Amino acid sequence: MNNEKVIKLPENRCHFCGKESTLLCDKVKGEIRAIDLGGPGVLSNGVVTCDKKICKECATHIDGADYCPDCVEILKKALR
Ligand SMILES: [Zn+2]
Ligand SMILES: [Zn+2]
């Protein structure tokens, strides 16, 4: 019998709860001068964001950006 159940996990899973993620953390971690974003040898300028995959439930929406629980903790500490 070839009746194995294949459990397909969503490709984008929340870093925190494992549910399907629809958002990426927008917390800016710093600026970069050059990084191989588009592939080896492709240099560009920009900002580095946390980019952790998060679902709606784990994300905290602040000022038009979505933050992961880790970054929310960092923000809270920074406000103390
Ligand atoms: Zn989640
Ligand atoms: Zn984050």
Residue 29: inside a domain: yes
Number of domains comprising the chain: 1
pLDDT 10s digits, 4-50:
787 776 578 999 999 999 999 999 888 766 656 566 665 667 788 99
Q: How far is the CA of 71 from the centre of ligand 2 (A)?
A: 4
Residue 44: inside a domain: yes
pLDDT at 79: 85
Q: Which domain holds residue 52?
A: 23-79
Q: Model pTM?
A: 0.69
Helix (H) or strand (E) holding 78: helix 69-79
pLDDT 10s digits, 45-55:
778 899 999 99
Q: How far is the CA of 40 from the centre of ligand 2 (A)?
A: 26
Residue 42: inside a domain: yes
Residue 7: inside a domain: no
- Tell how strand 60-62 and strand 43-49 pair up: unpaired
Q: How far is the CA of 5 from the centre of ligand 2 (A)?
A: 34
Residue 50: inside a domain: yes
Nearest CA to 58 among 69, 47, 73? 69
